[in-house]
Amino acid sequence: MRVVIQRVTEASVEIEKKVKGRIGTGLLVLAGICPDDTEEDLAWLASKIAQLRIFSDEAGKMNLSVQDVNGDILVISQFTLFANTKKGNRPSYIGAAPPAIAIPLYERFVTLLKTALGKPVQTGEFGADMKVSLLNDGPVTIIIDSKNKE
């Protein structure tokens, strides 16, 4: 599983001009699933995201987690994180899990993230055409791949 995490002061996702999810201070998480992702990958990433210290403390040092600042999380499925651009100019997405595999893993990841955060998590809708808006704070953008956890 691969995620792009953006620290935000606000973020939202619209589907067909209707807001599906919205947060204030917190994390926008773009999540890509690959076919060989496991429960261990999902749990490791959920815990890592909830505890990642990328919010500033009173001294201005990034030393606080989203939990510490009572922030929220918005998760958006993003198969394009597994784009392969080695050949030609049209990306290939064969590294991304097909919907039959990805949807249950994505839903399980959201559940694990809710548990790790200790409160509800906002989401988009898997496979939908979404319009994501955000105000990146910092900017702080971090990429984590569960296959590189060691």
- Counting every residue written for the chain, the total comes to 150
Q: Are 124 and 20 in contact (CB under 8 A)?
A: yes
For residue 109, give the nearest of 40, 54, 15 by alpha carbon.
40
| Backbone φ, ψ for residue 148 (5° rounding) | -115, 35
User: To which residue do tokens 């599906």 refer?
Assistant: 20
Q: How many CA atoms lie within 13 A of 88 on its CB side?
A: 4
Residues with Cβ < 8 Å from 69, sequence gap 6 or more?
25, 26, 55
Would you call 79 a catalytic residue per the annotation? yes
Q: Which of 55, 79, 82, 126 is catalytic?
A: 79
Query: Which residue out of 6, 55, 78, 122 is catalytically annotated?
Result: 78
Is residue 142 within 8 A of residue 8, CB to CB? The reply is no
| Given the residues 38, 51, 80, 141, the one annotated as active site | 80
Return the closest-CA partner of residue 136 out of 57, 14, 25, 13. 25
Q: Is 25 a catalytic residue?
A: no
The yes-or-no answer on residue 80 being catalytic is yes
Active site residues: 78-80
